[in-house]
Structure 1
Amino acid sequence: MLDMVIVGGGYVGLAVAVATKQAAPHLSIEVVEAAPEGVWQRDERASAIIAAATRMLDVLGVWQEILPEAQPITRMIVTDSRTADPVRPVFLTFDGDVEEGLPFAHMVPNVAMVRALRGACERLGISIRHSASATGFHAGSTSATLTLSNGELLESRLVVACDGVRSRLRDMAGIKTVRWDYGQSGIVTTVEHERPHEGCAEEHFLPSGPFAILPLTGNRSSLVWTERTADADRLVASDDLIFEEELQRRFGHKLGALTVVGSKKAFPLGLTLSRAFVSSRLALAGDAAHGIHPISGQGLNLGFKDVAALAETIVEADRLGLDIGALNILERYQTWRRFDTFRMGVTTDVLNRLFSNDIGPVRIARDLGLGLVERLPKLKNYFIQEAAGTKAPNNPRLLAGQAI
């Protein structure tokens, strides 16, 4: 019998495995991944990793491997305008450091992150099963039985579901969700531009949704471009000339001519919050527990916060000789994470509804609000520290840069 099986071999699942095994080497841990070996290497996306998450990755021994491919965000600007506006006034700016030498976030290619975490799994002796998904789950009094698509049965004291926003494990455990669709899709791609971005990230609030420009290494940027779903599908299906023309209208000309160098993909956007994060012998982490709008760039970072809290909960219970899969142990993790997740889900939902429209009085009110924050340094500093995750009360040790 295994101590822990993690279903889902993305960055959250791998990080749970590494964080737990590093602190408790005697625990037997396996990762089950539905995708065939090597598919992760095709992921062209990049993610914003906040300062608290980089501290955790450093403790896990993978950040130095990731760092050469990471681009620090040295500054961020926020505008609120229409696509056709000739000038986009800047309503809010953030300096990039939360403390000396610590940027509030880095942009990291997903491939670099997964590669480093998989390498850590290999060094720690964590096996990864590929091309296998969970088709059955049964929780007993002392262990859970997991049925895989290849016919294998795995018995484990604890199963961790990191299998995405449409988690089959969550459904099999009977955990309900609160869910709605925004009628928007996020277009994700990578562009090259003539002039350097100097580490500056931009978020333009446009009537159809936020348009985020996130710096990558070199003269490249990652885009998260929100449009109404029908328009997003049309844009992704269009030829490169039309796509780049529409892109330039939103991106602007400050970085010169643009060239799309990555594939164009559109992902439907919605809000999904699990009503519970745990059940008997099962814990949810990452998108299996919550899926939020990308307007704040916090989706993956919420998952890393889950990793830090869950690993600490498991390791501390194990050190006390307690059953790591017992419901009363897992409820400590749920208590730790559920309020923060609910708060972030509500915040992103309100922000998206507030900014994804062109209603005159609403625009005036939100621009006044942005201007007020810009003129109050203490309030602005609070928001940047909150976004970086460095000053959150009751932070797990990993997020503070401490070993469990």
Structure 2
Amino acid sequence: MTDTTSAPSLKAELAVIGAGPVGTSLAILAAQAGFQTVLVDARDPAATPPPDTRNFAIVRGSWRLLGAAGVHPALEGHTQPLMGLEAIDGGRHWMGAPSVLFGTDDLPEDAQGEPLGQMVPAAALQVALDDVAAATPNLTWLRNTRFTGLTPHPAHARIILDDGHTIDAGLVAACDGMKSGVRNALGITTEGRAYGKSVFAADVKLSRPHNGLARQLFTPEGPFATLPLPGNRANLAWYMKTGAAEAMAAMPVADIEAELNARFAGFAGEMKLDGPPLAYALHLQLATKMVGPRTALLGDAAHRINPLAGQGLNLGFKDVGALIDVMTEARSVGLDPGADTSLHRYQQWRRFDATTTAMFMDGVDRVFSNDNAVLKPLRGIALIAASRIGPVRRAMARQASADQADLPSLMR
């Protein structure tokens, strides 16, 4: 790996713009597959990273991809296995509180007993990926460097950096987030909406064992979720109206704990804050195309979805796995990985899954976050059926853990 803060003009088979978990994992896996790769990272290595108290639910398929990238050893001791998922309808109706619970026993026989996934602290994941990237041959890492422009050419795309240098790349991977500069430079538009909701998020200590279960209580105001962390702790997410979540995150610790326990101690047990809380607004944003000339969009640059069930980052890892498969298969038959035919295959593979997942999460939020007299019995019946019908429960377990046969090869 070449690490530089002031690089000359470069040539690469793949240039990755953005060095979060999606971009860094893609750069590592592409370099390991033999592609000359450049990673453009806006972070200043001399600066102290800002606190990041987020935790990611990394499902089995994504965990396999991270294993292929070589980060599992660096994450040892930081993760919490996900042993089951539970959803409860907390709306007020005559069915009580219908629920569904599925776990490792609902996976195929050859996988029973294995976790559905792992809870991973965001900061630990990024450090692990950075450490692997630093030791990866075939990878040039441009740090404290920002993308400023892109000009497509027939055989390559020219990337312009903020120091005036350029990269001529056969393929550009836009992993630069919801406000993607690469997407904007290509003129690719987005569709979506603001939810008018924000999430209050915090790590808490629990008064009773979580047993590795991720639990979600649907209330008329919105979901309240607890995701298990090591040491009988949990990462909680409480959906509230925009403004309310931000105001709550600014309250004194004692007041936050009092509000949490007054509302949810019956569901989660007594909770005590274990770190600073945060709040963030919810947006649905889908790029109208996932590809442009010599360019593929991945992660939040392509799709920002409702974080319900923690599928956002996992969709990004699916993008990574799919692009690696498309690149390696094109090379194996003598084709250009950055040509329109290769990029069209990537878009066909990923756009439908990303869009349907986004719409499904949006629909679940709409259906469960209310006290509608028509919807309440229907959703109650649906939860009871899902709980009692084995094939339905097993299909949900496979979907939630990204354990299907049509996944990218690194995730199977």
Same fold (TM over 0.5): yes
The answer to whether the 8 Å contact 2:104/2:113 transfers is: no
Counterpart position of 1:213: 226
Matched, 1:54 2:63: yes
Q: Deviations over 1:68-94 (max 9, x none)?
A: 211111122211215x99x98351111
| Offset of residue 338 of structure 1 | 0.8
Change (3 A) 1:31 1:359: same
Residue 108 of structure 1: which of 120, 126, 140 is its match?
Answer: 120
Are the aligned partners of 1:79 and 1:92 in contact in 2 as well (CA < 8 Å)? yes
User: 2: distance between equivalents of 1:328 and 1:341?
Assistant: 20
Question: What is the alpha-carbon distance in structure 1 between the residues aligned to residue 21 and residue 261 of structure 2?
Answer: 32
State the match for 2:54 in structure 1: 45
Q: How does 1:320-359 map to 2 (within 5 A)?
A: 320-359=333-372
Q: Bigger CA drift: 32-41 or 208-217? A: 32-41
The counterpart of 1:75, out of the listed 84, 89, 93, is 84
Is the Cα contact below 8 Å between 1:40 and 1:111 reproduced in 2? no
Aligned partner of 1:20 in structure 2 is 30
The answer to whether residue 292 in structure 2 is matched with residue 282 in structure 1 is no
Distance 1:72 1:30 in 2: 33
Specify whether residues 250 and 165 from structure 1 end up closer, same or farther in structure 2 by C-alpha distance, changes over 3 A only. farther
Partner of 1:394: 406
1:191 & 1:90 partners in 2: Cα distance? 26
Aligned match for 1:261, one of 243, 257, 274: 274
The residue aligned with 2:203 is 190
1:53, 1:301 within 8 Å by CA — same for their partners in 2? Answer: yes
- Give the C-alpha shift of residue 339 in structure 1: 0.8
Is the 1:196–1:255 contact (alpha carbons within 8 Å) kept by the matching residues of 2?
Answer: no
Note the C-alpha offset of 1:324: 2.0
Q: Output the CA distance in 2 between the equivalents of 1:55 and 1:41.
A: 28
Distance of aligned partners of 1:188 and 1:35 in 2 relative to their CA distance in 1, 3 Å threshold: farther
Distance in 2 (alpha carbons) for counterparts of 1:139 and 1:175: 14
User: What do residues 112-133 of structure 1 show as CA deviations (whole Å, max 9, x unaligned)?
Assistant: 2222222221221323323322
Matched with 1:31 is: 39
- The 8 Å contact of residues 246 and 280 in structure 2, kept in 1 or not, is answered as no
1:8 to 13, 18, 26: 18
The whole-number CA distance in structure 2 between the counterparts of 1:18 and 1:39 is 24
Work out the CA distance in 1 between the residues paired with 2:264 and 2:328: 46
Q: Which amino acid aligns with 1:31?
A: L
Could you tell me whether the CA contact under 8 Å between 1:147 and 1:154 is conserved in 2?
Answer: yes
Unaligned ranges ≥5, structure 2:
1-10
Cα distance change of structure 1 residues 13 and 195 upon mapping to structure 2, 3 Å threshold: same
| Superposition map of 1:150-165 within 5 A | 150-165=163-178
**Does structure 2 conserve the Cα–Cα contact (< 8 Å) formed by 1:286 and 1:300?**
yes
SS in 1 for 2:326: helix
Aligned residue pairs total: 395
* Equivalent pair of 1:30/1:127 in contact (CA under 8 Å): yes
SS at match of 1:310: helix
Shift of 1:278: 0.6
Change (3 A) 1:368 1:40: farther
Q: How does 1:56-205 map to 2 (within 5 A)?
A: 56-81=65-90, 89=97, 91-97=99-105, 98=107, 99-125=111-137, 126-205=139-218
Q: Which amino acid aligns with 1:92?
A: V
Q: Distance in 2 between matches of 1:276 and 1:111?
A: 30
1:201, distance to aligned residue in structure 2 (A): 1.4
Helix, strand or coil at the partner of 1:268: strand
Q: In structure 2, do the counterparts of structure 1 residues 65 and 137 end up closer, same or farther at CA, with 3 Å as the change threshold?
A: same
How far has the Cα of 1:380 moved from its partner?
Answer: 0.7
Equivalent position amino acid for 2:287 in 1: S
- Check 1:261–1:251 CA distance in 2 against 1; reply closer, same or farther (3 A cut): same
Deviation for aligned residue 1:349: 1.0
CA offset at residue 319 of structure 1?
Answer: 2.9
Could you list the per-position Cα deviations for residues 28-62 of structure 1 after superposition, in whole angstroms to 9, with x for gaps in the alignment?
Answer: 21111222226557322110011111122222222
Aligned in 2, Cα 1:88/1:36: closer, same or farther, shift over 3 Å?
A: farther
Seen in structure 2, the aligned counterparts of structure 1 residues 230 and 88 have a Cα distance that, compared at 3 Å, is farther
Residue 118 of structure 1 aligns with an amino acid whose one-letter code is: D
Number of the residue aligned with 1:228: 241
What one-letter code is carried by the residue in structure 1 that aligns with 2:247?
R
Q: CA RMSD in A?
A: 2.0
* Between 165-174 and 72-81, the greater mean CA deviation after superposition: 72-81
Q: Residue 6 of structure 2 corresponds to which residue in structure 1?
A: none
**Following the alignment from structure 2 to structure 1, what is the Cα–Cα distance between the partners of residues 353 and 202?**
30
Report if the CA contact (8 A) 2:176-2:300 is conserved: yes
Cα distance in 2 for residues equivalent to 1:198 and 1:40: 32
Change (3 A) 1:178 1:227: same
Distance 1:151 1:208, change over 3 A: farther
Q: 1:222, CA displacement in angstroms?
A: 0.6
- State the 1:321 CA deviation: 3.0
**Residues 196 and 218 in structure 1, CA contact (< 8 A), matched pair in contact too:** no
Alpha-carbon distance, 1:262 to partner: 2.0
Kindly indicate whether the alpha-carbon contact (under 8 Å) linking 1:211 and 1:250 is maintained by their aligned counterparts in 2: no
SS at match of 1:252: helix
| Residue segments in structure 1 that go unaligned for 5+ positions in a row | none
Letter in 1 for 2:85: M
Indicate whether 1:304 and 2:312 are aligned.
no
